[in-house]
Amino acid sequence: RITNGKRPPPLLKSRARSAIFGLWLISQLTNHSRKGGVSLQFQGEKPIFLQLAEQLEDGILSGAYPEGSQVPSITEYAATYKINPATALKGINQLVNAGLLYKKRGIGMFVAEGAQENLRKQRSEAFYHDYVEKMVREAKGLGLTLAQLTDLIRRGFQDVH
């Protein structure tokens, strides 16, 4: 507060407003994470927009973002994770195009109805192609029977935590 009765210059007001908004945004994202939101960590060779999309998918699958709930905005992702807003937009648009998110103009992005089940089906099919087919080929190459392979899978379920 200025005690000489003068208003602060517009630039100062703008900077103060930006600082307050920044603190508010950080508190909102921190609270969101505490409520079961997804904490993003970008790494590796995969483009950041794909990592963002996959981690949001993981949040939808785990229930951190239930159907009908709002996901953080593009601005929030960009500011919090220090990424270009266009990168965040590209990742979000991947999920919009897949029908997993939808936009309410002026409000934000929300998880679509049926998104969790659709993701589960997509991931199950990818799992089959990426892992099961290869495992069965290898098992047949080793001469394992279906019963032997099933026993190995059971053992894996018991051993892996």
pLDDT in tens, 14-72: 444 444 444 444 444 444 443 444 556 677 788 999 999 999 999 999 999 999 999 99
d(CA 116, CA 107): 22
Question: What local confidence, expressed as pLDDT, does residue 154 receive?
Answer: 95
Question: What local confidence, expressed as pLDDT, does residue 116 receive?
Answer: 97
pTM beyond 0.75, yes or no: no
Write the secondary structure of 66-126 as one string of H (helix), E (strand) and C (coil): CCCCEECCHHHHHHHHCCCHHHHHHHHHHHHHCCCEEEECCCEEEECCCHHHHHHHHHHHH
Question: What local confidence, expressed as pLDDT, does residue 1 receive?
Answer: 43
Cα–chain-centroid distance for residue 120? 15
Give 115-121 contacts, CB < 8 A, sequence gap 24+: 115/60, 115/67, 116/60, 116/61, 116/63, 116/66, 116/67, 119/57, 119/60, 119/61, 120/61
d(CA 103, CA 116): 17
